[in-house]
Amino acid sequence: MQVAIVLYPGFTALDVIGPYEVLGRLPDTEAVFVAETPGAVRNDLGGLSVGVVARLDDVPAPDVVVVGGGSGQADQMSDGPLHAWLRRVDGPTTWMTSVCTGSLILAAAGLLGGRRATSHWGALDQLAGFGATPVNERVVIDGHYATGAGVSAGIDMALTLAGLLRGDDVARAVQLLIEYAPRPPYGSGSRDTASPEDVEKMFTLFAQG
């Protein structure tokens, strides 16, 4: 099984590294990073680069595709090589997946029309503009499309996918291997549970002009 993980300048690291850690550990699986242009692709924080070894066209029929989000997602919304590749491989793929605002890229490529999908809470409503039905859940599956909510939800999405691909026993074994047992020190991990003060602080710290 081949898993193609899409990178572009300004990707969010955990969006793609979380699924890479899960799916890349499945038996008989090759996880490959792909990009329009091979080379070092820098993340949205600027301090991490991932070396891409495959062009999009070098991976014509992956079994699974993972598209993450990040500040660079806005530059990937126009029709072009990435969208064309996504549409081309959508047919042969077993699973087309996204994490965070990666679902907006899938939607802009025309893949999520009439489908239920999720995204980061701050971008969730934008899915409707592309004909998708926004769903405020951590993982949403509709057909062969699996979308994860914001950033850390990529691990949940990948574990869900691992169970569907290789069985629940294998998925549980991978979960144990990576010791994924979240017990966060705070309860502000979603818009539904965060206080108004937490939301205001987040926008103060991280809002971009």
The CA-based angle 152-153-157, given to 5 degrees, is 135
State the amino acid at position 82 in one-letter form: L
What phi and psi values does residue 206 have, to the nearest 5 degrees? -120, -5
Q: In the structure encoding, which two tokens stand for residue 5, read together? A: 């993980």
Which active-site residues does the annotation give? 100
Rg (CA), the chain: 16
pLDDT tens readout for residues 162-195? 999 999 999 999 999 999 999 999 999 998 899 9
**Under a CB-based contact definition with an 8 Å cutoff, are residues 46 and 26 in contact?**
no
Q: In the structure encoding, which two tokens stand for residue 160, read together? A: 């869900």
Start-to-end CA distance of the chain, whole Å, equals 42
Closest among 25, 208, 40, 184 to 122, alpha carbons compared:
208
pLDDT tens readout for residues 129-167? 999 999 999 999 999 999 999 999 999 999 999 999 999
Q: In the structure encoding, which two tokens stand for residue 148, read together? A: 């994860």
**Under a CB-based contact definition with an 8 Å cutoff, are residues 18 and 152 in contact?**
yes
Share of the chain above pLDDT 90, in %: 92
Domains of the chain from N-terminus onward = 2-183 (3.40.50.880)
**pLDDT at residue 209 greater than cutoff 50:** no
Distance (Å, whole) CA 86 – CA 103 = 12
